[in-house]
Amino acid sequence: MKPEKLIQSALKAQNKSVSPFSKYPVGVALLTENGDIIHGCNIESKAYPTTLCAERVAIFSAIAQGYNKFKAMAIVTKDGGMPCGACRQIISEFAGNIPLYVGNSQTNYKTTTIDELLPYPF
């Protein structure tokens, strides 16, 4: 699948974000080995630290639905911010070294990998 198509899907996931406190919606589209797409978005709680990031929502949700092999992940934010440390750990552990398309639109994104973002993983 073309990165642009996966990013388009991540933009749809971003619309589902519940982020009234940070006003920083994040959307993720995770492409599974068989071509399905699992969405993730950040979900903020009024008990702030219990908030969950979009990347972990996507990966945990996919695993809960029986997927464990992935081909690519698109991550969209308003400024193209890279995944946080906790999400890097989970991507490394559960998604492996797949291409990560990180940006804010179908025309403005970087392609990277978790090996680049998290060298020497736990």
Annotated catalytic residues are 55
- 54-64 and 85-94 helices, crossing angle to 10°: 30
Residue from 55, 59, 91, 95 binding ligand THU (CB under 6 A): 55
Is 14:41 a contact under the CB 8 Å cutoff?
yes
| Residue 32: partners with Cβ closer than 8 Å, 6 or more residues away | 38, 62, 67, 69, 70, 71
Q: Does the footprint of ligand THU cover residue 37 (CB under 6 A)?
A: no
Of the candidate spans 21-29, 30-38, 60-68, 103-111, the one that interacts with ligand THU by CB under 6 A turns out to be 21-29
Q: Does the footprint of ligand THU cover residue 113 (CB under 6 A)?
A: no
CB of 71 to ligand THU, least distance (A): 20
Residue from 1, 2, 15, 24 binding ligand THU (CB under 6 A): 24
